[in-house]
Amino acid sequence: MRDSFDIKQWIENPDELLVIAGPCSVESREQLLNTATKLSELHRVKILRGGIWKPRTRPNGFEGIGEEGLSWMKEISEETGMPCMTEVATPEHAELALKYGIDALWIGARTVANPFSVQHLADALRGTDIPIFIKNPIAADLKLWIGAFERLSSSGLRHLVAIHRGFQDTNAAPFRNNPRWELPIELHRQNADIPIITDISHICGCRDILQKTAQKALDLATNGLMIESHCEPEKALTDAEQQITPDDLKSMLDNLIIHKSKSTNANVLLQELRSRIDSIDDELLNLLAQRSEISSKIGIVKKEHNLTVLQLDRWNSILSNHIEKGKAIGLNENLVKDIFELIHKDSIDRQL
Ligand code: PEP
Ligand code: MN
């Protein structure tokens, strides 16, 4: 048995990029042993993942190996020195995972979508301090995601981590699940002490965009990556299109640019740039306030002269002029359009 990685310590101080890898599903002792042995040889993977109970969209597919797989997981995890984690969706799963000494649990996107299920899990886990990783719910609902943290935290669980796995969306292409990066960023803004792991496998759904997506997650300061890895991905019983071999995982990790979280020189520079941004934002706010005041005056004139609030010709020409002007100075067309639509809406509201 090798020295094992301390998950709780990492959660308290998540400075180093955490890599979690392993198969989508535990399929057999041999498959898990082959995969985990190769993953441990990379010396980069700190936690072994593997699904024991699989939430499948339709019945009669492979629904997970069940309880038997927990004993393989524990044995192989100890052998390879990588603590292990699995998905739990019901109190029964949680009790079994605890019984077999699984080191950490994750709650899947479908389960997080249902507050009753999350509460049942929180009740079942009360009194333990096992680390819990909470995936984002299927729908892009930040409150529901935060609600799951609140439920577990109310049960006394102190070691909680978020997993960003993207959101179901008919316009997700080229992704399987739309990453909507602004949501984990907002989660972080509201709860800076919760580390965030990016599950690039479920975001991408295929192998060819994994590298680019991993780099993007790193550029956006993710605390870690979860990647599905299988010794023979094409034979995998679940998520075969998105799993990669441990060798491919190695080359992916070797090619990532990992940023330093702390750098004094960079901090000085960033502070200076941020203070310039702050004063530009102040100016923007003042200008917006002045603009709104003029809008209100226009509203009074329109009322006095019995004119409609919405003057479509004027609005169309404002929008197209601004988009053209914006383009000429390097601003994105959609940005200018979105901003002026909001400003115009506010202006209309003030005049009604
Ligand atoms: C998984 O990690 O294999 C899984 C089923 O994830 P999700 O809940 O994100 O779909
Ligand atoms: Mn999967």
> Each residue of 262-271: b (16+ CB within 10 Å) or e?
eeeeeeeeee
Give the ranges where the chain is alpha helix by DSSP (H).
Answer: 7-12, 29-41, 67-80, 91-99, 109-112, 115-125, 142-154, 182-190, 200-204, 210-219, 246-254, 264-304, 312-328, 333-351
Whole-number Å distance, alpha carbon 7 to ligand 1 midpoint, is: 20
Q: Which residue has the tokens 């609030």?
A: 309
Residue 351 pLDDT exceeds 70: yes
For residue 239, give the ligand 1 atom closest to its CA. Answer: 3
pLDDT band at 67; cut points 50, 70, 90: very high
pLDDT digits (tens, 9 = 90+) for 184-241: 999 999 999 999 999 999 999 999 999 999 999 999 999 999 999 999 999 999 999 9
> Does residue 204 line the site of ligand 1, with CB under 6 A?
no
**Do 248 and 41 touch, CB atoms closer than 8 A?**
no
Whole-prediction pTM value? 0.83
For residue 25, give the ligand 1 atom closest to its CA. Answer: 3
> Does residue 24 line the site of ligand 1, with CB under 6 A?
yes
> Does residue 88 line the site of ligand 1, with CB under 6 A?
no
pLDDT digits (tens, 9 = 90+) for 297-326: 999 999 999 988 888 888 899 999 999 999
CATH code of the domain occupying 7-262: 3.20.20.70
Find, among 247, 239, 213, the residue nearest to 38 by Cα.
247
Q: What is the homologous superfamily of the domain 267-351 according to CATH?
A: Chorismate mutase (1.20.59.10)
> Does residue 51 line the site of ligand 1, with CB under 6 A?
yes
Pick the residue whose CA is nearest to atom 6 on ligand 1: 108
Share of the chain above pLDDT 70, in %: 98
The encoded tokens of residue 25 equal: 């599903």
Pick the residue whose CA is nearest to atom 1 on ligand 1: 24
Share of the chain above pLDDT 90, in %: 86
Domains 7-262 and 267-351 share a fold: no
Can you say whether the dihedral through the CA atoms of 319, 321, 322, 326 is positive or negative? positive
The encoded tokens of residue 232 equal: 């023979």
pLDDT digits (tens, 9 = 90+) for 155-173: 999 999 999 999 999 999 9
For residue 201, give the ligand 1 atom closest to its CA. Answer: 2
User: Which amino acid is present at 31?
Assistant: Q
Whole-number Å distance, alpha carbon 262 to ligand 2 midpoint, is: 33
The ligand placed nearest to the CA atom of residue 238 is 2
Sequence spans of domains, the chain: 7-262, 267-351
Residue 1 pLDDT exceeds 70: no
Measured between alpha carbons, how far is 28 from 25 in angstroms, rounded to an integer? 9
